[in-house]
Amino acid sequence: MLFNSISFLIFLPIVFVLYWFVTNKKLRIQNLMLLTASYFFYACWDYRFLFLLMFSTLLDYYSGIKIEEASNKSKKQIWLFISIFINLGFLGIFKYYDFFALSFAEAVSRIGFQIQPTTLNIILPVGISFYTFHGLSYVIDIYYQKIKSERDFINYGLFVSFFPLLVAGPIERATHLLPQIKKERTFNYSEAVLGFRQILWGLFKKIVIADNCAVIANDIFNNYQHLSGSTLLAGAFFFTVQIYGDFSGYSDIALGTARLFGIELLRNFAFPYFSRDIAEFWRRWHISLSSWFRDYLYIPLGGSQGGRLKKIRNTFIIFLVSGFWHGANWTFILWGLINALYFLPLLLSNSNRVHMKIVAEGKMLPSLKEASQIAFTFFLTMIAWIFFRSETVTQAIGISARIFSSSLFSIPNGVSIAIMFLVIFFFLIEWLGRANRFAIENLFPHSPRFLRWTFYYIIIVLIFLFGGQHQQFIYFQF
C-alpha cells in the first residue's frame, strides 16, 4: 500500500476514526488497533513476509527480556549474539546472498576457474532493512543498560511495526518511540493540522517533483551511451532532485501521518542540499540512519578517539557499510567510498563540524561564500549520486567520463522546461522554510489566512496536474 495511492487514502481515515473515536477509551486497545492496522498495511505488500516481520519482532522481544534477566555477562552476550546473528542472517539471505554468490563466481573466473553459482532469486521483503535495525538497536540498548526490556508485546510490536515508518523509516529508537506508545494520548487539533500540512508537502515532493524528475532521469540514464555530457549532467541533476524529493517526501508523509495519531517520529531530513560541506550534508541527510551507524558502529569502533589512522579507518568503515546497507551492488559500495573520500579532507583538517547552524540564518539570501559552498557541495553530491543510480560500475564510469568531456559544453537534450520551473519553485519554498522542521510548517506566518490557503490549493492543483507519472518510492528497494 503506497502513501500516494487510493487505497491509502481510504485506509488512513478509517484508522484515524477507529483510533480517536472507537478505541480511545483505553490505551492498550488503542495500541492493539494500531498494531493490527500496521500488520494489515504490511500484508498488503505481500502477506507471506508478514510472518517474517512477526518472527523478527518476537525474536527481539524475547531476546530483550532474556538479556535483562540474565544473571551474568556471558549469558547476556549469548542472547545478544542470537538476536544479532538471526536478524543479520535473514537480512543477509534475502538481500545479499545472490550478490556474494555472483561476486565469488566472477572473482574465481578471473583466475581461470568457472563455477555456476546457485542463486535464490527471491523478492526482497519490503522494509526489512528498517525494521531489522529497529530490533537491533533495541536489544543492544538493553544489553548496555540504556533501557529496560518492554514486557508488553503489543507495545513492543507497535514500536517495530508502526505503519507510517514500517517500510522506509525513519529508523526509530526505543528510547524515543516506546515512551510515546506507552503514554496516554489525547487529540491535539493543532498537531493534526500540522500533520496534514506535512503530508501535503510530502505528497508534493513525491508526486510533482520526484516522479516527474524520475521520467527525465530514467530516460537519460537508460540511454547514456548516445548522449552528450551536458545531457548526462542534466540527468544526474534530475536524479539528485528525484531521490531527495522521493525519500524526504516519504519521510514527511510518515511524520505527518504519525502526528495525526499523537506520535512524533524522528526527523529524517533537514534541508541537506543547502549544506556548505559534505559533513553538514551527512548531518542533514537520512538522519536516522546516519545517527544509527554513529551510535552502534562508529562509536563502538572508537569513533574519533585515538590516532589519525584509526579515525580514517572508522570513517571509511561507516561510509562503506552505509553504501552496502543501501543495496547489494558494487555501485552502492563505490558511492560510499566516494563520500568517504569527500569527507576525508574535513576529517584531517578537523573542520567537519564547522557548519552546525542553519545557512544564512535570519537572512533572506546567503553570502557569496555560502552560495559557492552550497553549489560546490551540491555538485559533489550529484556526481556521487551517479554511482548510486547506475545499474553497473561500468555505466557509472561511462556516464562520469562523458560528463567530464568536451560534450559537456553542448546544449542538453530532453530537459522539460516546465519541470525545471517546478524544481526551482520547490527549492525556493524549501529555502524560505529552511528554519522549520519541514518547509511549509510555518510558511508565510504573518500573511492573511486566505493567502496561505491559496498556496495550499496551488499545491493541491499541482499534485493533480502533474501526478500522472506514478513511481514507486525509491527506498522501498532497500
CA distance 93 to 217: 31
Pair (215, 124) in one structural domain: no
pLDDT band at 327 (very low <50, low <70, confident <90, very high): confident
Asked if pLDDT for residue 36 goes beyond 70, the answer is yes
Please, are residues 303 and 314 in contact by the beta-carbon 8 Å criterion? yes
Q: Is the residue at 101 inside a domain? A: yes
Which residue shows C-alpha cell 535570519? 362
Cβ 440 vs Cβ 259: under 8 Å: no
Distance CA 337, CA 344 (A): 10
Q: Does pLDDT of 112 surpass 90? A: no
Q: Is residue 111 part of a domain?
A: yes
Residue type, 390: S
Average pLDDT value for residue range 328-341 = 94
- Distance between the two ends of the chain, CA-based, in angstroms? 16
Q: What pTM was computed for the model?
A: 0.93
Tally of CA atoms within 13 A in the half-sphere of 184 that contains its CB: 4
Q: Considering 186, 208, 238, which residue would you say is the last residue of a domain?
A: 186
pLDDT of residue 477: 66
Secondary structure of 168-210 in HEC code, one letter for each residue: CCCCCCHHHHHHHHCCCCCCCHHHHHHHHHHHHHHHHHHHHHH
Sign of CA dihedral 442, 445, 450, 451: negative
Whether residue 97 is found in the same domain as residue 205? no
pLDDT single digits (tens) 408-441: 999 898 888 999 999 999 999 999 999 999 999 9
Count of alpha carbons within 13 angstroms of residue 82, beta-carbon side: 16
CA neighbours closer than 13 Å in the CB half-sphere of residue 261:
33
Please check whether residue 476 is in contact with residue 247, taking contact to mean a CB–CB distance below 8 angstroms.
Answer: no
Domain boundary residue, one of 164, 186, 208: 186
**Does residue 419 share a domain with residue 466?**
yes
Q: Indicate whether 244 belongs to any domain.
A: yes
- Is residue 307 a part of any domain in this protein? no
Which tens digit of pLDDT belongs to each residue from 96-110?
877 777 777 777 777
Judgement on whether residues 79 and 227 belong to the same structural domain of the protein = no
Q: Does residue 361 sit in the same domain as residue 214?
A: yes
State residue 413's pLDDT score.
87
Instruction: Check whether residue 159 and residue 218 sit in a common domain.
Output: no
Domain boundary among 131, 165, 186: 186
Q: How does 175-209 read in b/e, with b if 16+ C-beta sit within 10 Å?
A: eebbebbeeebeeeeebbebbebbbbbbbbbbbbb
* Residues 228-280 pLDDT 10s: 999 999 999 999 999 999 999 999 999 999 999 999 999 999 999 999 999 99
**Which amino acid is it at 478?**
F
Catalytic choice (226, 326, 446, 470): 326
Coil vs helix vs strand at 140: helix
259 and 242 co-located in one domain = yes
Identify the burial level of 356 via C-beta atoms within 10 angstroms of its C-beta, where 0-12 means exposed, 13-18 middle and 19 or more buried.
Answer: exposed
Name the nearest CA neighbour of 462 among 414, 430, 417, 418: 418
What is the 8-class DSSP label of residue 426?
A: H
> Does 54 fall in a domain?
yes
Residue 168, pLDDT > 90, answer no
Q: Does 204 lie in the same domain as 168?
A: no
Whether 326 is a known active-site residue: answer yes
What's the total number of domains in the chain? Answer: 2
Residue 366: inside a domain, yes or no? yes
What pLDDT band is residue 444 in, cutting at 50, 70 and 90?
confident
The tens digit of pLDDT for each residue in 364-386 reads 999 999 999 999 999 999 999 99
d(C-alpha 49, C-alpha 166), whole Å? 13
Query: DSSP character for 18?
Result: I
Q: Do 52 and 122 fall into the same domain? A: yes
Contacts for 343-350 with beta carbons within 8 Å, 24 or more apart?
A: 343/278, 343/279, 343/282, 343/315, 343/319, 344/312, 344/315, 346/277, 346/278, 346/279, 347/311, 347/312, 347/315, 348/308, 348/312
- The whole-angstrom separation of Cα 463 and Cα 205 is 9
Look up the domain containing 21 and give its range.
6-186
In a domain, 429, yes or no: yes
Same domain, 21 and 109: yes
Does 234 lie in the same domain as 113? no
The answer to whether residue 290 is domain-embedded is no
State whether 16 and 59 are in the same domain. yes
**Residue 96 has what pLDDT?**
84
